[in-house]
Amino acid sequence: MKKSRGALIIILCLVLLGVSSFYGMKIVRGTAGVKSASGDALGLGLDLAGGVSITYEVVGETPSKDKLNDTIFKLQQRVTQTSDGSITEAQVYAEGDKRITVDIPGGSSALFKELKAPGKLEFRDENGEVQFTGDDIKTASATTNQDKTTGAVQNVVLLTFTEEAAERFYTYTSANVGKKLSIYYNDELISDPKINAGISGGEAVVEGMANKEEAENLASYIRIGTLDLELKELRSQEVSATLGSSALAKSIKAAGIGLLVVMLFMIVMYLVPGFAASIGLAIYTGLTMLCLKAFGITLTLPGIAGIILSMGMAVDANVVVFARIREDIAAGKSVQSAMKSGYKKALSAVLDGNITTLIAAIVLGIFGSGTVKGFAYTFGIGIVVSMFTALVVVKYLMQGLYAMGLTNEKLYGKAKEYKALDFVGRRWVLIGIAVLVAAIGFITMGVNKAAGKNELNYSLDFIGGTSVTADYGKDYTAEEIEDTIIPVVNDAIGKGQVQHQRVSGTNEIVLKTRVLNEEERDALKQALVEKFNLDEKKVEFESISETVSNEMRADALKAVLIALVLMLIYIWFRFKDFRYSASAVIALVHDVIIVLGSYAVVRVAVGNTFIAVMLTIVGYSINATIVIFDRIRENLAGSSTKDAARLKEIVNNSVTQTLSRSINTSLTTFIMVFFLFIMGVTSIREFALPLMVGIVAGGFSSVCLTGNIWYLMKSKNN
């Protein structure tokens, strides 16, 4: 490469760095609450920024628990779609036996308007009989249509029916051309469209809107209906972040310090390639922020997990390439040839690892709900951006630096001669260690159960609890609540998880804790009244249901299982041997069990972030496993698969050759999470701790288990 071209590449990379860093920092500053950049802020979830809370009361008699739960689930499904298309991670839960509360991220969401009057949507014929309901509608959006005859632009509402309802809708409209199919909301006529023709394809257009606002209102009503119960709004209020106002700032600071440490580590370990990778990581960070802003992603703590994981994968892609370059330099190739061949050899491992995890992100985004979607969106965007920076930006930047005179092979490193470690010979010891550590978790769960406690420390998100609302006479900060009020709660009812939110514009504080009986409620009320001089009559207790419903858990499990199946099919397809897939599954199960056991041993609260932690570990582990499998496949080429001694040698060589990559990738990812742990608030530390356990477990299973399991299945079947 000519020097002039190298200079141009470096300039272009620096321009990209400058632009992405400038706008990325504007978004980060705005998100962190810096006033000068607040317009550039990302949308934040309830856990990081708070939002609006709307409480409804059921009209009429107290409903059965099943009907209340069905209504909660339908509301949860509805609130994932807003008229502006933004991604909303609202929480819906029961309050008492006749109330439903919806917590909406942010204070100006279009969803707030759409939820002001949730109710029953029906499509009735001219005789008043119900033919279709809101359950038959998949989506509804306001749009425009051009009249084919006059050319006039009309405001209309586009309806998309569910797959089951689409066929019924075609049959009905074909048989009732010229008749009206009126739309009622809570028994009130809101639109009176006429059927002009039989409508196939599952899509229909409602015409006759006077203006855009009328079309948007109708679309809003259709999206929210129908519910099993009629609800009336009881109150609406702004609430603070569930993790405290400082959680986001501390998370951003921790991530920034972690990123700088990782960059320094890369430069020290890999010299010129490490410097190029550090520039790539900075560009990755800026581009990721820009993409999150462009796609209107609502950022939550699980979303931060997705960013951390994709950042770890960005580092991993570079480490895999750099290891190949050093090997080729050691084999006698020039630096320039080694860079070219290094990227070529590493491409299959990088692509397979990223595509496999991207499959998981896509499936989780489609089938998941709530925080699972938040994780999937940030993770998916991060994967795509990390592939671009690792395979394009860093590659060309290294070539540019080489062309500018950095040609000495000492600046790129040379792989040292190694002696293959005997992982296969110690397979039963390594497998025994894995089984023993996994057993500790299960034994601890049994001990917890025998002691009268839950196997795991389930949080309010999973099992519900009790809320206590009171006016404390002054505006407490989140830190003051944690330092002064929470200790009083713990003294009164015993130490446990306590969530807190402030009601904006008032001195009210909502405390959420485990389920309390009448005696415990009285004790807590008395303690709060005495300590803070509260009005006893205005201390209100309510039972609240879990925010992670059974349906949401089922959705998450379904999404994970589908993602695993598709990932394993892909691995099977790429490696032409089901034993690779089976080994990967066993390693994944090991990692999940170890992390689950850590929750039992340390008694970390199992809440919304639990799902994100498990998803992070699955993505992290599968990527590390594929790198080792790629090397086994390469070393296996042309060898006899019936020679057990040769198979043993191949596995040992492959794991040893990728060992530095496994250690360095695990270390850099661990560093990012470690800074979250030491600098974060309590809830963030409870999120980071099991994640660190999972990183260690994933590194162990990739290095010590996957190759051995593959060897056992391969040698047994030969």
Looking at per-residue pLDDT, the higher value among 675 and 305 belongs to 675
Please say if the pLDDT value at position 37 is more than 60: no
Distances 380 to 41, 265, 280, 383 between C-alpha atoms, Å: 20, 26, 18, 5
User: Would you say 498 and 534 are in contact if contact means Cβ atoms under 8 Å apart?
Assistant: no
Mean pLDDT of 18-29: 87
Instruction: Spell out the residues 6+ positions from residue 184 whose beta carbon is closer than 8 angstroms to its own.
Output: 121, 122, 123, 124, 190
pLDDT interval class at 562 (50, 70, 90): confident
Short-list 135, 132, 141, CA closest to 114: 141
Please say if the pLDDT value at position 275 is more than 90: yes
Report the distance separating Cα 534 and Cα 518, nearest Å: 19
What is the token pair recorded at 129? 């009989």
Report the distance separating Cα 120 and Cα 75, nearest Å: 12
Report the distance separating Cα 376 and Cα 392, nearest Å: 24
Q: Other C-beta atoms within 10 Å of 477: how many? A: 13
Short-list 342, 350, 308, CA closest to 322: 342
Please say if the pLDDT value at position 88 is more than 70: no
pLDDT interval class at 549 (50, 70, 90): low
pLDDT interval class at 97 (50, 70, 90): confident
Looking at per-residue pLDDT, the higher value among 156 and 246 belongs to 156
The domains found in the chain, sorted by start residue, are 3-32+244-411 (1.20.1640.10), 51-239 (3.30.70.3400), 427-442+549-717 (1.20.1640.10), 465-544 (3.30.70.260)
The mean pLDDT of the chain is 83
Long-range pairs, 388-392, Cβ under 8 A, ≥24: 388/287, 389/280, 389/281, 389/283, 389/284, 389/287, 389/314, 390/277, 390/280, 390/314, 390/317, 390/318, 390/321, 390/350, 391/317, 391/343, 391/347, 391/350
Listed in order, strand segments (DSSP E) in 256-302 are: 298-299
Which range, 9-18, 103-112, 181-190, 568-577, has the best average confidence (pLDDT)? 9-18
Provide the pLDDT for residue 168: 92
What is the token pair recorded at 384? 């795509």
Mean pLDDT of 33-44: 63
Provide the pLDDT for residue 83: 43
User: Would you say 59 and 229 are in contact if contact means Cβ atoms under 8 Å apart?
Assistant: yes
Mean pLDDT of 338-363: 88
Listed in order, strand segments (DSSP E) in 270-327 are: 298-299
